[in-house]
Amino acid sequence: MISAIPRRYAQALLMIAVERKAIEQYENELEKFRQALVANPEVQEFLENPRVLPQEKKKALDRLIKSFASPIIYNFLHLILDKRRENFYPDIIRAYNKYADEARNIVNAEVWSAVKLTTKDYRDLEQKLKRVTGKNVRLQNRIDTSLLGGIKVKIGDTVIDGSVTKKLALLKNQLQRTQFKEIGVKE
């Protein structure tokens, strides 16, 4: 769950991005910034250190983003620093990505299968999920060797379990109920 502060910053940036038709551009620039922080954890610690003077933090931030940040992202990241919210950078980026996906009508889905899906199966599943959800689906295939066969799909909070394991469990349950009915036991 992303807290209110990162959501507000992300929503504000998204409003600007929609107005300027730059949703993906800003998303890419924020991703480059996130990757730079991950690649340089000492810089992230420096930026988040409350004892470091803001002007020193700005210099470090400038060195980190000068090669890729557009003026809007440059000013946005500096505003966060000015407001002393730099510890929220990762959450703000995550929230922006979520809102950007919503604005582009994209939903993330995970599919678990015993083996990697073929390209054709992957595309077919993507299209079926698109028809079901009415949204563009960004599908991620995960291998689950515990599955005997079939697939399990998760979109948001909804899980569609078409695995052989689930079907066997349902069959077993159905057989048990049938046996009880045959001997006259009511459920």
| Full 3-state SS string of 74-119 | HHHHHHHHHCCCHHHHHHHHHHHHHHHHHHCCEEEEEEEECCCCCH
- Name which residue leads in pLDDT, 47 or 176: 47
Residues 26, 94 share a domain? yes
Q: What is the mean pLDDT of residues 139-163?
A: 82
- Has residue 126 been placed in a domain? yes
Q: What is the mean pLDDT of residues 109-135?
A: 90
CATH of the domain at 28: 1.10.520.20
Residues 133, 85 share a domain? no
Last-in-domain residue among 102, 117, 143: 102
- Name which residue leads in pLDDT, 148 or 80: 80
Last-in-domain residue among 62, 78, 102: 102
Under the banding of pLDDT at 50, 70 and 90, the label for residue 4 is very high
Task: Domain of residue 118: give its range.
Answer: 106-182
Last-in-domain residue among 49, 75, 102: 102
Residues 29, 47 share a domain? yes
Number of domains comprising the chain:
2
Residues 112, 97 share a domain? no
Which residue do the tokens 């109920």 mark? 177
- Name which residue leads in pLDDT, 166 or 52: 52
Residues 110, 27 share a domain? no
Other C-beta atoms closer than 10 Å to the C-beta of 75 total 13
- Has residue 154 been placed in a domain? yes
Residues 97, 110 share a domain? no
Host H or E run for residue 166: helix 164-182
187: pLDDT strictly greater than 60: no
- Has residue 68 been placed in a domain? yes
Q: What is the mean pLDDT of residues 12-25?
A: 97
Residues 176, 127 share a domain? yes
The residue among 105, 80, 89, 115 whose CA lies nearest residue 34 is 89
Least confident residue range of 32-41, 73-82, 170-179: 170-179
Q: What is the mean pLDDT of residues 113-135?
A: 90
CATH of the domain at 118: 3.40.30
Residues 118, 60 share a domain? no
Residues 54, 27 share a domain? yes
